[in-house]
Amino acid sequence: MQEALSRRVSHAVLGYTAPPEALREDHYWVVLTKQPTGPVHVNITTDSQIAVVGSTTLTFTTANWNVAQRITVRALDDSAREGTHYSRIGHSILAADLDHFLGVTRQDVADGLANAVNGDLGSEFTAQTGTNSVTVTGPAFEAELLTPYTAATVTLGGTPLAGQSWTLTRNGTPYVYTVQSGNDLNAVAQGLATLLGGTASGNSLSLSSAGAVFTLSFKVSAGSNGHASVSGTTLGFTTGSGSERAWTQAEIEIFDPATPPPPVGAVWTVFLDGVAFEYTRQADGSGNRESINNVAAGLADAINQSGGRFATKYTSATVKISGTPNAGDRWLLMLDGTLVTHLDGDSVTYIVKEGDTLASVANALAAAVGARGGFTLDNADDEDALFTFTRSAAFAIRLDLTGVNLQSDGQVSGTTNSDRLYVFTPDGTPFTVRVQLAASASQADGFVAGGRVVAVGPTRRSAGSNHGSVDSDSMERTPGRSLSASSPLQECAVRAA
């Protein structure tokens, strides 16, 4: 915001006397092109050739931002005989008013974040804005919002070696310290602090911004084991109470309403990350509605036998072998993520031998479970190619078969002996849960809730002390801090603080 002013000095000609240089004035006007969010002070500076007549500071407010303010400048008489010469006028905004001048509001930030999400055509997520908020919807995800620092402490680690470059990048500008012979971490911290205008204490340096904000990143030259951790005060945000929780483990209660009671033919559907798993209520041996325990078991089997990314836990599981076993087939039975081994080494549960039948394979697997311990084994009929084992605590089970020209298979079914369904993802990825109930398979709308999540696994963890806290029920965050969501989310409403 600089203007060049040109002044021509006239000499006395034919009796005409030019006015003194100091009497020559000119004017220009300054106006803002966008309404600020608060007061904006513009400071005017000049060189030694001219001076501003009156105040050298202009003040714009949210009310007068579009009203032009006149500035008068006058040439200074320095007694020097000069031809055409130039002066420059400088304009600068008071640093404390820069945010007001830029006019970036929390709503602008929300709109920008939503546009960034929606602009990624390859993404499965969508975003909508509210008042100072962004609502992101899609498959289950970990929610983390990184915001700039207003103050930060960088703690260095590793071993600095002479010639290495240790770099902190602030607001995109790198500040590089080259390690000198004999430098330790304290010396590197001091060197970086000097470059960035911060203070050093031991192997740490502290940076502040006098009201502005900054981003910060760290790197070292190749081959170095140097590293850094950054902590500090960031801009705040909250996660809205309307956010939908997601889980990596979930205990789901399956509803069996008393009024009206779901009849034979009623359909329960469990949606895991939008993937539907159904079970239709059957009649028991007397023609009556089967128990809700059987419904929960049927849903568990539907999920377990789908071959997808979801699995369920049982308190009682039945393994059934079918087909034709071939010598050399390798059976692998996993319980709670651990391979069950017995007599055939540490990498397999059972290797099929010549002459094995379906029953002998099932008996060998049952023997491996019995040898493992911790389960009650039921294999009374050792000729039926199946066995059952139970435990009071729910457990995960997985059965795999490898080999050449496979002609046999194994199936796992089970129950929790209750109205509970225990769902998890073996790879630990989060998922959302919704359960609906229909009176029949032909019902098209008017569904009611068919269940709810009543307990979860280790995903309900608290945030660290540097990040504030999270209420595990409302998911409301403590304002003024930047932190990642303690539990994954499918729909996350982020509100700028």
User: Mean pLDDT over residues 461-468, rounded?
Assistant: 27
Residue 471 maps to a domain? no
Residue 205 maps to a domain? yes
Residue 467 maps to a domain? no
Token pair 């040109």 is found at 6
Q: Do 363 and 349 touch, CB atoms closer than 8 A? A: no
Give the pLDDT band (50/70/90) at residue 435: very high
Residue 492 has a pLDDT of 54
Give the pLDDT band (50/70/90) at residue 44: very high
CA atoms within 13 Å, Cβ hemisphere of 219: 8
Taking the C-alpha atoms of residue 334 and residue 145, their distance in angstroms, rounded to an integer, is 38
Q: Pick 80 or 21 by higher pLDDT.
A: 80
Give the pLDDT band (50/70/90) at residue 2: very low
- On whether both 120 and 160 belong to a single domain, the answer is no
Token pair 């109470």 is found at 241
- On whether both 445 and 303 belong to a single domain, the answer is yes
- On whether both 202 and 258 belong to a single domain, the answer is no
Q: How many domains is the chain built from?
A: 4
Token pair 């990498």 is found at 347
Give the pLDDT band (50/70/90) at residue 244: low
Work out the mean pLDDT of the chain and round it to a whole number: 82
Residue 254 maps to a domain? yes
pLDDT at 22 over 60: no
- On whether both 85 and 110 belong to a single domain, the answer is no
How many CB atoms are closer than 10 A to CB 14?
A: 4
User: Mean pLDDT over residues 369-385, rounded?
Assistant: 90
pLDDT at 292 over 90: yes
Q: In terms of Cα–Cα distance, which of 317, 332, 272 is closest to 417?
A: 317
Q: Do 142 and 245 touch, CB atoms closer than 8 A? A: no
- On whether both 94 and 8 belong to a single domain, the answer is yes
Taking the C-alpha atoms of residue 281 and residue 292, their distance in angstroms, rounded to an integer, is 9
Residue 18 has a pLDDT of 46
Residue 25 maps to a domain? yes
Give the pLDDT band (50/70/90) at residue 196: very high
User: Mean pLDDT over residues 274-294, rounded?
Assistant: 93
CA atoms within 13 Å, Cβ hemisphere of 351: 8
- On whether both 188 and 54 belong to a single domain, the answer is no
Token pair 């579009």 is found at 66
The predicted model scores a pTM of 0.51
- On whether both 218 and 286 belong to a single domain, the answer is no
- The alpha helices in 23-129, defined as continuous H runs, are 98-102, 106-118
Residue 344 maps to a domain? yes
Length of the chain: 497
Residue 159 maps to a domain? yes
Taking the C-alpha atoms of residue 352 and residue 216, their distance in angstroms, rounded to an integer, is 59
DSSP 272-314: ETTEEEEEE--B-TTSSBPPHHHHHHHHHHHHHTT-SS-EEEE
Distance of CA 23 to the CA centre of its chain: 65
Give the pLDDT band (50/70/90) at residue 136: confident
- On whether both 160 and 49 belong to a single domain, the answer is no
User: Mean pLDDT over residues 372-381, rounded?
Assistant: 90
Measure Cα distances from 277 to 26, 250, 317, 333 in Å.
80, 15, 19, 24
Residue 383 maps to a domain? yes
User: Mean pLDDT over residues 371-386, rounded?
Assistant: 89
- On whether both 190 and 282 belong to a single domain, the answer is no
- On whether both 411 and 276 belong to a single domain, the answer is yes
Give the pLDDT band (50/70/90) at residue 216: confident
Q: Which range, of 98-112, 176-190, 384-398, 412-426, averages the lowest pLDDT?
A: 98-112
- On whether both 265 and 346 belong to a single domain, the answer is yes
- On whether both 306 and 279 belong to a single domain, the answer is yes
Residue 488 has a pLDDT of 46
Q: Would you call 351 helix, strand, or coil by DSSP?
A: strand
User: Mean pLDDT over residues 319-327, rounded?
Assistant: 94
Give the pLDDT band (50/70/90) at residue 237: low
pLDDT at 487 over 90: no
| Token pair in block for residue 10 | 């006239």
Residue 494 has a pLDDT of 52
Q: Which domain holds residue 116?
A: 105-143+238-244+477-497
User: Mean pLDDT over residues 70-84, rounded?
Assistant: 83
pLDDT at 13 over 50: no
Who's near 266: CB < 8 A, 6+ residues apart? 280, 281, 437, 438, 439, 440
Beta strand 433-438 pairing with 338-339: unpaired
pLDDT at 227 over 80: yes
Give the pLDDT band (50/70/90) at residue 472: very low
Q: Pick 456 or 185 by higher pLDDT.
A: 185
Q: In terms of Cα–Cα distance, which of 326, 301, 332, 263 is closest to 421?
A: 301
Residue 457 has a pLDDT of 52
